[in-house]
Structure formats: C-alpha cells, structure tokens
C-alpha cells in the first residue's frame, strides 16, 4: 500500500467514525402550561377530603363542619384551622376522630382568634375525621375559617404519594416541613416521577401563623403571588426539584408547606428531603473519571493523531528504503 492509499484509508476511517459518533442531546424545552388548575372553594370528592387542599370550615356560633380523610398507617400528619378569624373574637376549636371511633382522640381549644393545630400519628389505615367547631360558649362571631391537612415530612425519609390527573381526589398533596435544623444550608426537595405521570407543579410556601396562614389561600390557583419557589414539569416522567436556603426565603420558625399538583396520568411519585449531611456529601463528592464515548471534540484530536502517526510511519518506511 503506497502513501496515497494509506492516507486515503485514514481519511475514510475518520469520516466513518465521525458519522457514527453520538450527537449531543438538546435539553428539553421548558414551557409554561397554558391551562391553569381550576379553583374550587370546597371540593368534596364524593364526601372525602384531599390531603393538601384548603376547605371552607366556616360555621355560625355553635355550628360545626366535619371533614373525612382516608389516611395511611405509619404516617404523621398535621391539620390546622386558619383564616380571617385570626385576631378576631371568633373562636374555632378542632377535634380529631380516629377510624371507627365516636370520641375525639385529640382536641385543641385555644382562645378566640387563635390558629388551631393538631399533629398526630396515624396508627392504622382508615377514615379519619376532623371536626371544626365554632365554640358556642366563647366565640363572639363567625368570621371565615379554613382547614388544611398535610403530611409531616422529615429529612432522610422517602414518601410514596399517589398523584392523579386533574381534579381527582389525589391530584393534590402537601407536606409540612420544619427546616429549623438546617442552620442556613441549602435544602433540596426532590420528587421522583413515574413515566405515566405529568406533574403540573411542585410549590414551596411559607407558613405564617401570625397572619392566619394566608399564604396558602390561593394554593389551588394556577399562579400564586405568595409562592416562594416552583418547579414545573414540561413532560411526563420528569422529576422535579426545588433547592432553597431558608435564610433567603424567610418563614417564621422556618416552617414550610410543599404542595404537589398533578396534571396528566396517574401513578405513585416519591418525595424526599435528603438529610443535611447527605446533601453536603453530594456537593463535595467528585465522580471518578470514566471512559466516555467518542464525541466530535475528542474525535478531532484522535484524527490528527492518526494522520500524524501514519505520516511518521510512511516517512520511516521511505527512509529505510533509501538506506537499503
């Protein structure tokens, strides 16, 4: 094989490798959804209430409203009554009834105008009832009130959550998160989404007890002036993440509400908050170098190397012939 043939062979080889090399993937285009979530004052969903939705719990003095939730064993929940009655002479009380029980297992009866809250461990699956009562003895009014139930999330744990397409019982879900132990470090909220689920948003809200939790009044709206941060899904199966530093997004006592809202498809998502040490480890860990597939940049360098080696080889052969 003479020099011209060798060079031609080298160029053909390089061309073939270039054509077969993997192309770079374009990042998915992030776009805003044109359809908003329909706002509903008090959706009933066949008599059941949804975790993560605010419900109108207003009643006249001496009256009450009862809300039924299908909750799961070995999970922790918190429920609170908030709204315009905060700071007035209207006095709402809150009671919890466990499955198949006629007596309240927990009661909270703060003074008039105070937010009422119950935190409890569900020790069995079933229908739990939350009753909001306008105290007939101590209340002096009937200002508006809302009830909200969320699951308590702790760092280092994973929580499987059924998310359904729009306006079903499980379209919405919410977590209550106390971030006071993070001492100012960045926190990651992570949602792993199955292929069949297209999420609408994951949202981060502050919990503001002094103002009656007004920042979650609009939790059903497609847009919210009170939302601190949002993560949007542009396609089915897309995982969502929100990273934030509590000092940059203030909330009294560093308590936050994380709202999940589905859009299309049904399936179990997994929500988690890595521990502080896990997140620090992830930030400082460097990956071991790995052998990457040929790409255009490395291939160009390799091409010149091949040509140079072939040229040196040809020159060496010519030199050897001249000696002989």
Q: What is the DSSP string of 228-244?
A: SEEEE-SSTT--EEEEE
Q: What percent of the chain shows pLDDT beyond 70? A: 65
Equal fold, 39-152 vs 153-283: yes
CATH code of the region 153-283? 2.60.120.380
What CA–CA distance (Å, rounded) separates 76 from 153? Answer: 8
Structure tokens at 292: 């990457």
Q: Specify the range with the lowest mean pLDDT, choosing from 145-149, 208-212, 290-294, 319-323.
A: 290-294
Alpha helices for the chain (secondary structure H): 3-20, 276-284, 296-323
pLDDT digits (tens, 9 = 90+) for 282-299: 555 444 444 444 444 444
Cα Rg, the chain, nearest whole Å: 30
Q: Which pLDDT score is estimated for 122?
A: 97
- pLDDT over 80 (residue 10): no
Which range of 38-47, 69-78, 180-189, 310-319 scores highest in mean pLDDT? It is: 69-78
Q: Which residue has the higher pLDDT, 27 or 152?
A: 152
What CA–CA distance (Å, rounded) separates 165 from 258? Answer: 19
Query: Quick one: which of 77, 110, 72, 83 has its CA closest to 94?
Result: 110
**C-alpha atoms less than 13 angstroms from C-alpha of 234 in its C-beta half-sphere:** 6
Q: Can you give the residue ranges of every domain in the chain?
A: 39-152, 153-283
At residue 300's C-alpha, the angle toward residues 296 and 302, to 5°, is 115
Query: Quick one: which of 182, 181, 183, 188 has its CA closest to 204?
Result: 188
State the pTM of this model.
0.72
Q: Would you identify the CATH topology of the domain 39-152?
A: Jelly Rolls (2.60.120)
């Amino acid at each position: 094989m003479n020099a011209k043939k060798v060079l031609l062979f080298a160029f053909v080889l390089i061309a073939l490798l270039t054509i077969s090399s993997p192309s770079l993937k374009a990042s998915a285009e992030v776009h805003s959804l044109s359809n908003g979530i329909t706002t509903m004052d008090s959706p009933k969903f066949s008599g059941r209430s949804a975790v993560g939705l605010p419900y109108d719990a207003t009643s006249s003095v001496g009256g009450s409203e009862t809300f039924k939730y299908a909750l799961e064993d070995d999970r922790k929940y918190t429920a609170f009554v908030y709204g315009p009655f905060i700071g007035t002479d209207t006095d709402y009380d809150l009671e919890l009834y466990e499955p198949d029980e006629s007596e309240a297992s927990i009661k909270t009866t703060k003074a008039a105008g105070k937010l009422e809250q119950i935190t409890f461990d569900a020790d069995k699956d079933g229908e739990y009832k939350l009753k909001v009562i306008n105290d007939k003895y101590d209340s002096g009014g009937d200002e508006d009130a809302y009830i909200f139930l969320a699951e308590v999330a702790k760092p280092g744990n994973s929580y499987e959550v059924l998310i359904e397409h729009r306006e079903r019982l499980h379209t919405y879900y919410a977590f209550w998160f106390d971030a006071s132990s993070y001492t100012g470090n960045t926190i990651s909220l992570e949602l792993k989404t199955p292929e069949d689920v297209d999420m609408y948003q994951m949202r981060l809200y502050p919990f503001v007890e002094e103002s009656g939790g007004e920042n979650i009044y609009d939790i059903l709206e497609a847009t919210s002036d009170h939302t601190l941060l949002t993560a949007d899904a542009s396609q089915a199966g897309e995982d969502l993440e929100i990273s934030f530093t509590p000092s940059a997004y203030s909330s009294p006592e560093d308590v936050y509400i994380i709202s999940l809202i589905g859009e299309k498809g049904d399936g179990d998502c997994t929500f988690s908050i890595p521990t502080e040490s896990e997140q620090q480890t992830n930030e400082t860990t460097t990956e071991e170098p790995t052998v990457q597939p040929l790409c255009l940049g490395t291939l160009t360098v390799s091409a010149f190397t091949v040509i140079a080696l072939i040229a040196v080889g040809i020159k060496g052969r010519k030199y050897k012939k001249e000696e002989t």
